[in-house]
Chain A
Amino acid sequence: MDLKLKIWRQANANSKGELKDYNISDVSEDSSFLEMMDQLNEELIEKGDEPVAFDHDCREGICGMCSMHINGEPHGPENETTTCQLHMRKFKDGDTIYVEPWRARAFPVMKDLVVNRDAMDRVIQAGGFVSVNTSGNTLDANAIPVPKANADEAFNAATCIGCGACVAACPNASAMLFVSAKVSQLALLPQGQVEAKDRVLNMVNQMDLEGFGNCSNVGACAEECPKGISLENIARMNREYLSASISSEK
Chain B
Amino acid sequence: MSLTGLFLISFLIVHLLGNLQLLDLSVEGQEKFNAYAKFMTTFPVIKIVSYLLYFSILFHAFDGLLLVRQNRAARPERYKSWKPNANSVWASRNMGLLGTIILAFIILHMSQFWYTMHWGEIGMDSQGNKDLAAVVIKTYQDGSAGMIMVSLYVIAMAAIAFHLWHGFASAFQTLGLNHKRYTPVIKTVGYAFSVIVPLAYAIIPVFILMAKN
Smallest beta-carbon distance A125→chain B, Å: 21
Q: Which stretch, B14-22, B25-33, B88-96, B102-110, touches the partner chain A?
A: B88-96
A242 touches B176 (CB 8 A): yes
Q: Which stretch, B40-48, B65-73, B131-139, B140-148, touches the partner chain A?
A: B65-73
* Cβ contacts under 8 Å, B173 to chain A: 217, 231, 234-235, 238
Per-position binary interface string of chain A over residues 170-205, scored 1 when its CB falls under 8 Å from any chain B CB and 0 otherwise = 011110000000000000000000000000000000
* Cβ contacts under 8 Å, B79 to chain A: 69, 72, 100, 103
Task: Check if B82 is an interface residue, CB within 8 A of chain A.
Answer: yes
* Cβ contacts under 8 Å, A237 to chain B: 176
* Cβ contacts under 8 Å, A211 to chain B: 73-74
Smallest beta-carbon distance B86→chain A, Å: 6
Task: Check if A77 is an interface residue, CB within 8 A of chain B.
Answer: yes
CA–CA, A216 to B67, complex, Å? 9
Task: Check if B126 is an interface residue, CB within 8 A of chain A.
Answer: no
CB-CB under 8 A for A223 and B88, given A72-B81, A73-B83: yes
Task: Check if A106 is an interface residue, CB within 8 A of chain B.
Answer: yes
Closest residue of chain A to B80 (Cβ to Cβ) is: A19
B71 touches A216 (CB 8 A): yes
Smallest beta-carbon distance A249→chain B, Å: 21
B75 touches A105 (CB 8 A): yes
CB-CB under 8 A for A217 and B178, given A105-B73, A174-B74: no
Task: Check if A239 is an interface residue, CB within 8 A of chain B.
Answer: yes
Task: Check if A219 is an interface residue, CB within 8 A of chain B.
Answer: yes
CA–CA, A5 to B75, complex, Å? 24
B176 touches A239 (CB 8 A): yes
Task: Check if B166 is an interface residue, CB within 8 A of chain A.
Answer: yes
Task: Check if B213 is an interface residue, CB within 8 A of chain A.
Answer: no
Per-position binary interface string of chain A over residues 220-241, scored 1 when its CB falls under 8 Å from any chain B CB and 0 otherwise = 1001100000011011111110
Among the interface residues B73, B81, B170, B175, which one has the most CB atoms of the partner chain A within 10 A? B81
CA–CA, A6 to B79, complex, Å? 12
Selected contact of B93 from candidates A73, A171, A232, CB within 8 Å: A171
CA–CA, A217 to B170, complex, Å? 6
Among the interface residues A105, A218, A242, which one has the most CB atoms of the partner chain B within 10 A? A218
* Cβ contacts under 8 Å, A100 to chain B: 79-81
B178 touches A73 (CB 8 A): no
* Cβ contacts under 8 Å, B76 to chain A: 105
B86 touches A238 (CB 8 A): no
Task: Check if A28 is an interface residue, CB within 8 A of chain B.
Answer: no
* Cβ contacts under 8 Å, A19 to chain B: 80
Per-position binary interface string of chain A over residues 57-79, scored 1 when its CB falls under 8 Å from any chain B CB and 0 otherwise = 00000000000010111000100
CA–CA, A234 to B84, complex, Å? 20
* Cβ contacts under 8 Å, A232 to chain B: 178
Task: Check if A86 is an interface residue, CB within 8 A of chain B.
Answer: no
Selected contact of A171 from candidates B70, B84, B166, B169, CB within 8 Å: B84
Task: Check if A212 is an interface residue, CB within 8 A of chain B.
Answer: yes
CB-CB under 8 A for A223 and B86, given A106-B74, A214-B67, A216-B92: yes
Show the binding face of B for A, using Cβ within 8 Å.
67, 70-71, 73-84, 86-88, 92-93, 95, 166, 169-170, 173-178
**Sampled A-B contacts (29; CB under 8 Å):** A6-B80, A6-B81, A72-B84, A73-B83, A77-B86, A98-B81, A171-B75, A171-B88, A172-B74, A213-B70, A213-B74, A214-B74, A215-B174, A216-B67, A216-B92, A217-B166, A217-B174, A218-B92, A219-B87, A219-B92, A220-B87, A223-B87, A235-B176, A235-B178, A237-B176, A238-B175, A239-B176, A242-B175, A242-B176
Q: Kindly list the 7 A-B residue pairs having the minimum CB-CB distance in the complex, ordered from nearest.
A: A72-B83, A235-B178, A213-B74, A239-B176, A98-B81, A172-B71, A223-B87
